[in-house]
Amino acid sequence: MRQTILILFLFFNSIITIGQIPAHIDSIYSFIKRNSIHRNEVNWDNIDKGFKTKIKLAKTDIDSIKSFIYVFEELQDFHSSITYNGRQYSNYPVFDDSTLKYLIPLVNLSNQRTGSFIAKTLPENILYLQVPGIQAWGDNVTVYAQNLSDTLCKYISGTTKGIVLDLRLNDGGQFTSMASGLSLLLGEKYIGGGVNIELNQTKMFTIKNNNLWINKNQMSNLIPKKNINLSKLPVAILIGPNTRSAGSILAISFKGRQNAILIGDNTANGYTTGNDYFSYGNNFFLNLSTSFSIDRNKKVYKLSVSPDIFIRGEDDFYNIENDKKVKVAMKWLRNHSH
C-alpha cells in the first residue's frame, strides 16, 4: 500500500511540474490583471476560465507561456510580451495579403538598419535624417544617443532650412537613445509622457541639458558636439505602419512642437502604449503595457499616431530624392523655412 501511494505521488507530481516555468503562474496572471492598461476593456470572468483551462492542459513550459499570450490576445494587446530563455513571445496582429505585401519589405529593411543612422543633404539645404529602431541597454543607451546626436551635428549647418526626420523604419526599442539623441530638435522642455487607466499622468518626459529625463530620473549622459538651438527649425517627420513602440512615442514627442508636421501613413496599431519591464527570475521577463502615451498638449494616443498629411505607399529608401513622402516633406519645409 505504501509503495502504491508513493507511485501515485510521483505520478501526480510529474503532471504538476510538466508545464512549470521558473515563476509563480498565479502571481504573474494576477499582476497582468491588476496592471494592464487594457484591463477595463475585457470580461475577466471569461478570461479567467480560458486561462485556467489552458494552464491545466499545459504539458510544457512553452505551453504555459502561450497561456499568457492568450491573455494578451483577449486584451487585444500587441505591445506586451514575455521573454523566456532569450526568446520573445507576443500577440501579433493579423494582416491581409495586400497589407503584408507592403509591410514585409519595411520590416526586413528596418531589421537590417537597426541602430544605423543615415543622413544626407538634399537640395535647397534640407537635411534628411533616417532614425531606425535602437536596441540598447545599460551604457549603450548613451552610446547610441551620442552617435545620433553626433550624426545630426555633423550634417547640420547655419544654412540648413529644415529637416526630414524619417521614422518609417523605426520599429522601436530604446526611446531614451532616440529622444536624447534628437534633444537639439525637441528643445529643452516637456515633450510628453504617459497616463494611467484613469488618465492621470504617471510619466513625464522632459529634455534637460540635452538629455531625456523621465520624471526625476536622468536617463542618459550625452554632450552635443555643437551648442545650437534647433527647437524652432522646421521638421517634417515621416511615419508609417512599421513605426511602432518607441518610434511611435518619438513621433508623439514632436506633436505640439512649433514648425513640425507628420507626413505618411498611420503608425502601427496598438503600439503607442508605454511599457514597463518586470523580472521573474534570470530567464523570465514580462514587458507589460501599463500606460497610454500623451503629447505636449496632453492629447492621449491609445492605439496609433495619425499623420497631418496622409500618403500611403510610394516609398523609395534607396533613392530618397524620388520618395514621394520626402518630396512632400521638402515642399512643406520650403514653405515654412525662414
The pLDDT tens digits of the residues spanning 260-292 come to 999 999 999 999 999 999 998 778 999 999 999
pLDDT score at 337: 79
CB distance 18 to 58 below 8 Å: yes
Tell me the percentage of the chain whose pLDDT exceeds 70.
94
pLDDT of residue 12: 34
Tell me, yes or no, if the pTM score tops 0.85.
Answer: yes
Q: Is 323 helix (H, G, I), strand (E, B) or coil?
A: coil
Confidence of residue 19 (pLDDT cuts 50, 70, 90): low
Question: What pLDDT was estimated at residue 338?
Answer: 66
Predicted local distance difference test score (pLDDT) of residue 336: 86
pLDDT of residue 10: 34
Residue 282's pLDDT is what?
A: 78
CATH topology for the 97-273+291-336 domain: 2-enoyl-CoA Hydratase; Chain A, domain 1 (3.90.226)
* C-alpha cell at position 49: 476560465
Q: Is the pLDDT confidence value at 78 over 50?
A: yes
> For residue 120, what are the contacts with CB-CB under 8 A and spacing of at least 6?
127, 128, 155, 320
Q: Map grid coordinates 515642399 to a residue.
A: 331
Q: Which residue has the higher pLDDT, 221 or 100?
A: 221
**Which residue spans of the chain are classified as CATH 3.90.226.10?**
97-273+291-336
pLDDT tens-digit series, residues 165-182: 999 999 999 999 999 999
Query: Which one-letter amino acid corresponds to residue 277?
Result: Y
CB 306: neighbour CB atoms within 10 A?
A: 13
What rounded mean pLDDT belongs to the chain? 91
pLDDT in tens, 129-148: 999 999 999 999 999 999 99
Q: Which residues 6+ apart lie within 8 Å of 2 measured at CB? A: none
Decide if pLDDT at 46 tops 90: yes
**Confidence label for 159 from pLDDT (cuts 50, 70 and 90):** very high
Categorize the per-residue pLDDT at 95 as very low, low, confident or very high, splitting at 50, 70 and 90: confident
CB 292 within 8 A of CB 274: yes
Question: What is each CA distance from 85 to 44, 61, 67, 302, in whole angstroms?
Answer: 29, 11, 17, 31
More confident residue, 26 or 8: 26
Q: Is the pLDDT of residue 7 over 50?
A: no
Q: Give the whole-angstrom CA distance, residue 47 versus residue 34.
A: 13
For 93, the grid coordinates are: 496582429
